[in-house]
Amino acid sequence: MQHLEVAKEAALAAGELLRLRFEKPLTVNATTAHDIKLEVDVLAQDRITKILLERFPEHALYGEEGIVGDQTSDHQWVVDPLDGTVNFFYGIPHFCVSIALRFRGDVMVGVIYDPIRDELWSGEKGLPPLLNGKPFQVSARAHLAEAVVSIGLAKTQETIEAGLPLLGEMVHRVRKCRMMGSAALDMAYVACGRLDAYIEQGISLWDIAAGWLLVEAAGGRVEMEPRKDMPDKFRIVASNGRLELH
C-alpha cells in the first residue's frame, strides 16, 4: 500500500509539472525522424526520482530518461515521465505519466496519470484497480468486428515496418483502428474498457509496465515477447482477453 501511495504522489507531482508546461515554449533536447526529446521529460523524471528514491533509497529506477541505482535490486521502479512526448510537443492533449514497481521482475504496482483529464489509474497486485477511486474492468466485446484497437507504430524504421502489415490486416477486421501516440494511455484505456486491444511491435518496458498490471488486474490479457532484433523492446498484445486477435 505504501508503495502505491508514493507512486501516486510521484505521478501527480510529475503530472502537475507537465500540465503547467503544456502549450508553453519548450526546450528541445534532441530530434530524430520520428521522435522528439524535450527538457520537460528530464525534469519530470527528476521530480519522480526524487520522490521515489528519497522514500525508498535502496530501490533502483529504470526510466526513459536514464537509470539510477543497482538494476539487480529486488525493487525496481519502471518510469516513463512523459509518454506521448510528440503529442505534448504538438499541443495534442493526450499524454501521461507512467510508473510501475517491479519486485524481482514481477510488476506489483502500476500508476498511470493523465494530467489533462485529471485521470489517475492505479493498481496493486491482488487488488481491484481504480480510476480516480472507482473500480473498473476491461470491455466485454468478444467480436473483432465490434472492436476498437489501437496499433502503435513507434519511431524506428524497423518498428514501423513491422507494424504496417498488422495495421493493414486489422483495419479490415475491426470496427476502427486508432493510433493515439501514448502506449501507456492505450494500456490504461484497454484496462478500463475504452479500447478493446492495443498492439505494438516494438515497445519499451517503461511505456507498458504500469499498464500491464492494470490490464491484467482489470480482467484482461497481456502477451509480451522480447524482440530478438531490438534490445529492450517487446512485441505486445494487450486486450480484454475475449478477442481472437491472432
Binding site for ligand IPD (CB under 6 A): 64, 80, 83-86, 152, 154-155, 181-183, 200, 203, 207
| Cα–Cα distance, 78 to 212 (Å, whole number) | 12
Least CB distance to ligand IPD at residue 179 (A): 8
Cα dihedral 223→11→109→181 (10° resolution): 0
Q: How far is the CB of 133 from ligand IPD (least distance, A)?
A: 26
C-alpha cell at 104: 524481482
Is 2 or 90 the residue whose CB approaches ligand IPD more closely? 90
Report, in Å, the least distance between residue 183 CB and ligand IPD: 3
- Beta carbon nearer to ligand IPD, 56 or 154: 154
For residue 174, the minimal CB distance to ligand IPD (Å) is 18
Give strand ranges (E) for 39-85: 60-63, 66-68, 75-83
Please state, as a whole number, how many other Cβ atoms lie within 10 Å of the Cβ of residue 50.
Answer: 12
Q: Can you read off the three cell numbers belonging to residue 193?
A: 474498457
- DSSP bridge pairs for 63: 66, 79
Q: Between 124 and 207, whose beta carbon lies closer to ligand IPD?
A: 207
- Report in angstroms how near the CB of residue 181 gets to ligand IPD at its nearest: 5
Query: What's the distance, CA 150 to chain centroid?
Result: 13
Of 201, 205, 202, 239, which Cα lies nearest the Cα of 222?
A: 239
Spatial separation of the C-alpha atoms in residues 190 and 218, rounded to whole Å: 9
Q: Which is nearer to ligand IPD, 111 or 242 (CB)?
A: 111
Cβ closest to ligand IPD, residue 84 vs residue 219:
84
